[in-house]
Amino acid sequence: MTSTRFHKVSEPDHVCWDETHFGKMGSWYINRTFFFDVHPPLGKMLIALSGYLTGYDGKFAFEKPGDKYEGVEYVGMRLFCTFLGATIVPFAFVTVWEMTHSLAAASFSASFILCDVGILTLTRYILLDPILLFFVMGSTMAMVKFHSYRDRPFSAVWWVWLLLTGVMLACAVSVKFVGLFVVILVGIRTLADLWDMLGDLTKPMSFVVRHFVARILCLIVLPSLLYMLFFYIHLQVLNKSGNGDGFYSSAFQSKLQGNSLYNASMPREVAYGAMVTLKNHRTGGGYLHSHWHLYPEGVGARQQQVTTYTHKDDNNLFRIKKYNSDPVDSALVELVNHGDLVRLEHVTTRRNLHSHKEPAPLSRKHYQVTGYGDNGTGDANDVWKVLIVGGRDGDVVTTVSSKLKFIHYLQHCILTSSGKQLPKWAYEQQEVSCNLNMRDKNALWNVEDNIFPKLPNISFEVYAPGFLERFIESHAVMFQGNAGLKPKEGEVTSRPWQWPINFRGQFFSGNSYRIYLLGNPFIWWSNLVFLAIFLIVHACHAVRKQRGKPVLEGAERMSNACGWLFLGWALHYVPFWAMGRVLYFHHYFPALLFSSMLTGVMLNYLLESLPVVLPVSLANTMYHWFLGVIFSATAYSFYLFSPLAYGMSGPSASDPNSSMFGLRWLESWEF
């Protein structure tokens, strides 16, 4: 097993696929630089730790796939991920052994996972997937090991496996939110166990209550505390300002060293003539932003684009002016009050924030928002009324703390950020529009930066949030980010129906040295067949049992084991059909582990049932003959398709001169 997993692990010696993301994030942890990602932090922290312990200094840029690792200590991170991926095989063996006590079933299951080139490919690089698969399989193994000690409740080994199950569950969810699927699996198994205990009238009710409390502590309280601990470490380590700051609230940013709000001193009140940035209050909302580029032909008026942008730059600065005059250059300071009419002049381009009765680019029932005018001059469509949420006449607009609405004076619409991503002509920034619905929940803004030398500065320490506030906001931003993951123009994605049939793979590395993620077709297509066979056999056994007819020896154990494995497969696969976010082939691999184990159990059951249809001597001969054929075919199919994982060079498989030409069994395979 070790030879297959670690062979050529240092190749290719360049960035492959999503190593550009997770290697970069590992670097940011080492450098303590804050960033935004849609996944929880544990997997990335472990990648960073493995890199740090093996000599990586966090200085490599990981800019794009194909960048050479010249003089970079990257192998340690790959070895760490590969080691975790390698443990999946013995985890599968132990899991099936505990469920069936069949050496053949456990060996089949482990060999199918060992010889799948897709799992091999996915677990050899600096990615979250090998870490996720490790904890998903670890949770499953710990669950069945704990169940195997049900006749020794509250013994030391019973507590060890229960605690380990809780730890593994916490870690699975802390790597990716899809770890929740294995949490649900363990939860259902736990409820089933408690229900069985409740029906055992030989046990007192206090016995059931003790079991219930033990599971609450180990499978809910402990994982929750560990999950929060990982986020606490994450927020403590990433204490320096980075490119992810803008996704978070102004108060959140005040905790990041190097951010303009960290230990910031700026005026508390907002005055006319001040240069300000306006941050949208929606989760993950950006800054009101403009730039020299115009809306393209056919998209409303051909005027200057206005968007929201999550990164800080000078194009986020607006000067706040009275609606009918420029600020007077004198010692007199006039503050902006609730209900004032104002103009917002973009500092870089000197054009005013403007709206009119043209439809917005994406939200067609909203009005377009543009930059309009020349050197600060414009027209009446540049006038906005400032309202403080909960404010009264005479209340002064304050930095950070005032939640603001901007009502267009003529069109009676409200400035909002729809959260929709604009096309490439707007650099995929988010749409800003003017909504006629005044109750739009995304129409709240706050002043973040407030540059005005004529007013005294105050410290922003008063706005700094505590851990729980940052923990809650981090999740709101992650959930928003996950929901907003949509396919980009020209991006090749996949749909759930394609995954089990191994319809299309994806390149990890292209050009002269190709790595292609694709499942071993012998194993994947067998998994599909045995999923169907299990449903048929299980239904037949259920009917025979209901009719009072005998079932084959071992049928009960097989049905129980395969039932839970089928549930694990369904929980890790079916939910993707309901997801609106962008999906990729690698999302299927947790489900694949369960279907491969199910195939091993079901295949062994059918082989052990041969004496029912054949004479015993012939059945024994056929049993051993089938064992040899199945293991040989599994190993040989791995040998044939192993270049997909270890690297291919020369012509592509569509070329008759390619060594892989005969293995391109589907037109959709592109290796």
Q: Say whether 656 sits in a helix, a strand or coil.
A: coil
Q: Distance (Å, rounded) from C-alpha 201 to C-alpha 390?
A: 61
Minimal CA–CA distance to 167: which of 93, 217, 128, 237? 217
Q: Residue 474: how many CA atoms within 13 Å on its side-chain side? A: 22
- The answer, yes or no, to whether residue 366 has pLDDT greater than 90, is yes
* pLDDT per residue as tens digits for the range 451-477: 998 898 887 777 778 899 999 989 988
pLDDT category at 261 given cuts 50, 70, 90 is confident
The string of DSSP letters for 432-444 reads EEEES-TT-TT--
pLDDT category at 521 given cuts 50, 70, 90 is very high
Mean per-residue pLDDT of the chain: 90
Token pair in block for residue 534: 């299990």
Extents of the domains making up the chain: 250-468, 485-671
Q: Given phi > 0 = left and psi -120 to 50 = alpha, else beta, which region is 514?
A: beta
Q: Distance (Å, rounded) from C-alpha 541 to C-alpha 555?
A: 8
pLDDT for the residue numbered 294:
94
- The answer, yes or no, to whether residue 1 has pLDDT greater than 70, is no
pLDDT for the residue numbered 202:
85
The DSSP bridge partners found for residue 14 are 68
- The answer, yes or no, to whether residue 654 has pLDDT greater than 70, is yes
Buried b / exposed e over 467-501, threshold 16 CB at 10 Å, is eeebbebbeebbebbeebeeeeeeeeebebeebbe
Element (H, E) at 525: helix 521-546
State the greatest distance between any 2 C-alpha atoms of the chain, in Å, as a whole number: 107
Instruction: Give the class (CATH, top level) of 250-468.
Output: mainly beta
Dihedral sign from CA coordinates of 411, 416, 419, 424: positive
* pLDDT per residue as tens digits for the range 12-25: 989 998 899 999 99
pLDDT for the residue numbered 596:
96
The string of DSSP letters for 576-618 reads GGG--S---GGGGHHHHHHHHHHHHHHHHHHHHTHHHHS-HHH
Buried b / exposed e over 61-90, threshold 16 CB at 10 Å, is ebeebebebeebebbbbbbbbbbbbbbbbb
Helix spans in 222-337 (H):
222-237, 250-253
Token pair in block for residue 626: 């089938």
Q: Distance (Å, rounded) from C-alpha 1 to C-alpha 8?
A: 14
Task: Tell the residue number behind the tokens 């800003």, with chain if given.
Answer: 432
Q: Classify residue 496 by its DSSP letter.
A: G
Tell me the whole-structure pTM to 2 decimals.
0.85
The mean pLDDT value for 1-6 works out to 80
Task: Tell the residue number behind the tokens 């496996």, with chain if given.
Answer: 161
Q: Classify residue 157 by its DSSP letter.
A: H
The CA distances from residue 403 to 4, 41, 180, 441, in Å, are: 58, 31, 35, 12
Q: Say whether 415 sits in a helix, a strand or coil.
A: strand
Element (H, E) at 416: strand 414-421
